[in-house]
Chains A and B, each alone.
Chain A
Amino acid sequence: MHVSLDRALGFVLLGISGVVFVGSWKLASGPAGYGGALPMGLSILLGLLSLLLLAGTFVRPKRDRGEPALQHAAQPLAPSTPRTGAALGLITMLVLYTALFDFLGYVPTTAIFGVVYLRFFHGVTWRVSALTTIVMVGVAYLLFDRLLDVTLPLGSVFSVF
């Protein structure tokens, strides 16, 4: 079921192990003594484990996936067809949110994010999306900025006015 994902992750993890190995080489030989020993050992271990993961994707029969993991948090309700595009879309939105957080400030960025999220990812009507977002953004602002003294950004773009 996840053979292609396992294979892709196997290659990525192998790359990470290589980068960490090279990075820890300098530490190992530097003045830090054993500073690089554990990272280097871990990078070698990760490399070996990645190779095993990769090997598994080439020899494992498709029907064998075992039972689902127990430790995953319980999911809300019965799943329907996976929408990987929607998940990637949400990640892109979160990246944009992070990029605009300081520039536009907490309130406008979160308001736009909330409305778009409810409307396009859950099919909530524009009106309900807007109302829900306004209430949540307001309550969260009062809770964090006023009650917990977390200074939320007002937006650098507005500082020029």
Chain B
Amino acid sequence: MELVLTSWNGVLAGMSIALLPANIMLALLGVTVGTVIGVLPGIGPVSGIALLIPFTYGLDPVSGIILLAGIYYGALYGGSTTAILAGIPGESSSVMTAIDGHEMAKKGRAGIALGVSAFGSFIAGTLGVILLTLFAPVIARYALMLSAPEFFLLMCLSFTLVATLTGDSFLKGLIATVLGLMISMVGIDIFSGESRFTLGFPGLLDGIPLVTVAIAVFAVADVIENVEKGPSSGSRVSKVPPLRQMIPTRADWKAAVAPIVRATGLGFFVGALPGAGATIASFLSYGLEKAISKEPQRFGHGAIEGVAAAESANNAAAAGALTPLLTLGIPGSGSTAVLLGAFMLFGIRPGPLLFEQHPEIAWGLIASMYVGNVMLLVLNLPLIGLFMQFLRLPYAPMSLLILLLSILGVYAGTSTSFGLILLVFFGAVGWLLRKADFPMPPLLLSLVLGPLTEKSFRQAMAMSDEGVLIFIRQPISALLTACLIAVLLYNAYRFVRLRLPKAMS
């Protein structure tokens, strides 16, 4: 009861910040830009957030974070529009929406698909934020009991989970993680003041900025990759239905309500797991609905339950993913890793103390998500026609704009052309790694968590009289070590079971 009251008071205090006219405008701007980013298949939320970080330099922290978070969950709404009307997932999290949503559009039920998607997103998004409101202070309170060894193990566990769940190869995910950690160690050692791996470049003494790497491996590498793929063949966009056709009927609601509720719970939980995120949440939720359906054969041919489940899950996952970020300081995906980078640029370290030291930011952000979800529902349905016009933008000028924003965004942060050298270098490296199917979210996650990982490791070693045995001495450490070993063994088993027989054949 005490915690519910704490959450309630927190949300009220947060509302007094989120409802300031300037913050309402920023949330509106964030969700609108996010929706456009979601609609456009050539740019993802990670690139979008990273590209817009430079525009928040003059803002106060809570306003900047409200803007960037708006882009994050706005992109999840926007992705469904393109998925339903054009059959192209605007984001990877909309892949499952495209399957049944586009089939519904082809059968003349685009309006209902868009309506169920928007209402499902709104309900799941709002319920997800309510769960975040209730759970975040509890988790933060328990997280205060964690010390350096537990934090180190928690981060190692996050790295292995992210490497397992993103991409199709654990080996490549793990290599990307190690590379990210190595990049994070370039610069001055905070303990000794000694410079490490700077190769004699003074520009590397301050380390390699996360924003530069994020923009490089997502935005710049995207453009290089698309230039390599050459001109596209275009797509057929279904006609945008009028608003009145987007209101689901009683029968549609009856079919969609249960999937929305189930997807909210599953999506929130999966979203909170490191590495799982919105994409896997929508896959699992869609799979669950298909598995329990009395008519599974309808899935893939325009089942409204499929659209409701996929879209609700990915929006609930967005709130779920913010839970470990705000309470433990550990992001679970590429988008939340860049958000963490933005927090740090404002001089704020999310984690167990965030709710005590910066309640205005934690609760302001949570309250803004309630407001943002309402904005998305009100804006999205009437303005779908307008948002779809962005799909008609030719890729050539759009890609030039992305390159310009990348270059100037990095220059704004570093004020030297050395930052641009890093941008081009990591853009080329990112392109090569992506060409070889290396997933980028693990690299970004380990880059942002690298300094904290090393700090926790060295503090743990300084605390210990028995070396690495400190990682199994306490019950929580021992449990985390066991989980870590289990994930590694699972991957080893998967390798032996799936890869070796094929290699031998």
Contact = CB atoms under 8 A, between A and B. Distances in A.
Given A42-B178, A79-B230, A123-B231, A71 B279 contact: yes
A74 B44 contact: yes
Contact of B224 (A43, A74, A87): A87
A130 interface: no
Contact of B432 (A5, A64, A137): A5
Nearest to B418: A98
Interface string B436-478: 1101110000000000011001100110000000000000000
A46 B462 CA distance: 25
A149 B58 CA distance: 10
Nearest to A114: B400
Interface centre among A77, A79, A110, A153 (most CB of B within 10 A): A77
Contacts of B47: 73
Given A52-B171, A75-B41, A150-B412, 4 more contacts: A45-B178, A69-B437, A83-B227, A86-B228
Contacts of B228: 82-84, 86-87
Interface residues of B, number: 97
Contacts of A18: none
B408 A150 contact: yes
B432 A90 contact: no
Nearest to B175: A49
A145 B75 CA distance: 28
B185 A38 contact: yes
A122 B434 CA distance: 22
Nearest to A53: B171
A81 B192 CA distance: 52
B178 A2 contact: no
A61 B503 contact: yes
Interface of B: 41-44, 46-47, 54-55, 57-58, 88-92, 94-95, 166-169, 171-172, 174-175, 178-179, 181-182, 185, 189, 191-192, 194, 196-197, 218, 220, 222-235, 279-280, 283, 334, 395-397, 399-401, 403-405, 407-408, 411-412, 415, 417, 420-421, 423-424, 427-428, 431-437, 439-441, 453-454, 457-458, 461-462, 499, 502-503, 505
Given A49-B174, A148-B55, A74 B191 contact: no
Interface of A: 2, 5-6, 9, 13, 16, 20, 23-24, 27, 30-35, 37-39, 42-43, 45-46, 49-50, 52-53, 56, 59-61, 64-84, 86-87, 90-91, 94-95, 97-98, 101-102, 110, 114, 117-118, 121-124, 132-133, 136-137, 140, 144, 148-153
6 contacts: A42-B182, A72-B439, A76-B232, A80-B232, A98-B424, A110-B407
A65 to B, nearest CB: 8
Contact of B431 (A39, A71, A87, A121): A87
B225 A98 contact: no
Contacts of A94: 220, 403, 424, 427
B227 A118 contact: no
A76 B427 CA distance: 18
B439 A46 contact: no
A73 B420 contact: no
A101 B410 CA distance: 13
Contacts of B168: 66-69
The 8 closest A-B pairs by CB, nearest first: A77-B232, A73-B44, A32-B192, A122-B396, A87-B228, A69-B167, A66-B168, A76-B42
A160 B24 CA distance: 49
A125 to B, nearest CB: 11
Contact of A72 (B92, B404, B503): B92
Given A50-B175, A74-B92, A90-B227, A32 B427 contact: no
Contact of B171 (A2, A39, A49, A69): A49
A94 B420 CA distance: 9
Interface centre among B171, B232, B408 (most CB of A within 10 A): B408
A113 B218 CA distance: 21
Contacts of A24: 196
Contacts of A59: 503
Contacts of B412: 144, 148, 150
A37 B196 CA distance: 12
A59 B495 CA distance: 13
Contacts of A5: 432, 435-436
Interface centre among A6, A23, A42, A73 (most CB of B within 10 A): A73
Contact of A78 (B224, B233, B400, B439): B233
